[in-house]
Amino acid sequence: MRAAIPALLIHACIGSVYCWSLLKGDIATEVGCSVKEIEFAFSLAIFFLGMSAAFGGRFVEKNVTAASVVSCLCFSTGLLLTVLSIYAQSVFGIMLSYGCLMGIGLGIGYLAPVKTLMLWFKEHKGLATGIAISGFGLSKVLFSPYIEWCSSSYGVSTTLVSMSVISIFSMLTAAYLIQKPADWVEPVVKWRLKDYFQVIKNGTYLKIWFVFYINITCGLALIAFEKNIAVAVGIGAVGLLSSLTAFFNTAGRFGYSTVSDYTENKQTIYKILLFSSVLVMLLGYVLGGSAIVVVLMLCVINAGYGGGFSTLPTLLQSKFGMEKISTIHGLALSAWAWAGLSGNQLSNLIINQWEMSYGVLYVVLAVLYLIALLLTFSIPKNKEYIEYEEQQQSLSKIDPSFV
């Protein structure tokens, strides 16, 4: 009631940003422009998600309730202003509302419940983050049929307004419920600009950032052309495939993070998901004409894409500790911002502009995944922090009232 349910309520709302493909066609028709003219709104939303998370970490750590309310206001207001922009037929208004303002709500909301969950689930931090971040992937499964029904029956404006109302109710309920454990005292740490630079210059942080960035970039590059790839191999049930890949995205977020609780080195999960990604990309290059291989490839990549998100907080916590996790996690999410701008552009460059085959795209992605995999092997083990964690666990076993 104080962590898991609020986390799901927040993430299941803001995760609807991934339903953009279901909204953009109707929005473009209402505004009287081409889809291409408003496509950048989604990239802006992801960019502002990453950047608001990067600079909002301290705010979230100070007051998680206030952060949840701010997220609700920005996200729901962004949806409502998108409706006004549609009526005004303003492409620029859609960029500001759906892209910038809603993106800020996404970033603060994404970050808000993570640390709280990790504090409540002290011995199962991976499971905790999996609960929250799986909600982000599950949102597409929940909202997709609703958006298709409501848009076809009442129009896209009504759909956006109703999504805003649902989000206001759900996210304010979450803000009311969410609370850190009573025995947790938030340390008073004054962060200056140079403190941010010290984290950014840290070699371990940089390696994790680039691994995370490559995994998202490659995932988005493939996901952005999911429908095109399916049609190219003769898959007719594209909607069913989309639901299947969304399921694997959600399962990856929950599954990989839960397994990380049982691994001493948290980067082991990244090694597993990146190695499997390299394998299926090469398999796609060799047998890319097979529908079964394409479905397997898309499912594995979606699972690894989601798992990369849910495992990130526990990986960072294992290297930098718990006290500043929201700030450091937020900084790392800036990789999502830049990947949002580069991921779909990479596949668009190879397929549309250079007019190359999907096989070339698979090889490029396999190479990038391999680079990320090699980087994970160079991430050092934080022995001092792991020994501290082991000491805490052994003491809690001797005296149950210790923690």
For the stretch 333-382, pLDDT in tens is 899 889 988 887 788 789 878 889 899 999 999 999 999 999 999 998 76
Q: In the block, which residue shows the tokens 């390299």?
A: 278
Length of the chain: 403
Write out residues in the chain with pLDDT < 50, as ranges: 384-390, 392-403
Domain edges within the chain: 1-183, 191-403
Domains 1-183 and 191-403 share a fold: yes
The CATH class of the 191-403 domain is mainly alpha
Q: Report the pLDDT value the prediction gives residue 388, as an integer from 0 to 100.
A: 44
d(Cα 96, Cα 104) in Å, to the nearest integer?
11
Please choose, from the candidates 222, 377, 376, the residue with its C-alpha nearest in 3D space to the C-alpha of residue 303. 222
Q: Report the pLDDT value the prediction gives residue 82, as an integer from 0 to 100.
A: 97
1-183 folds as Growth Hormone; Chain: A; (1.20.1250)
Cβ–Cβ < 8 Å for 221, 347:
yes
Q: Report the pLDDT value the prediction gives residue 240, as an integer from 0 to 100.
A: 77
d(Cα 10, Cα 381) in Å, to the nearest integer?
33
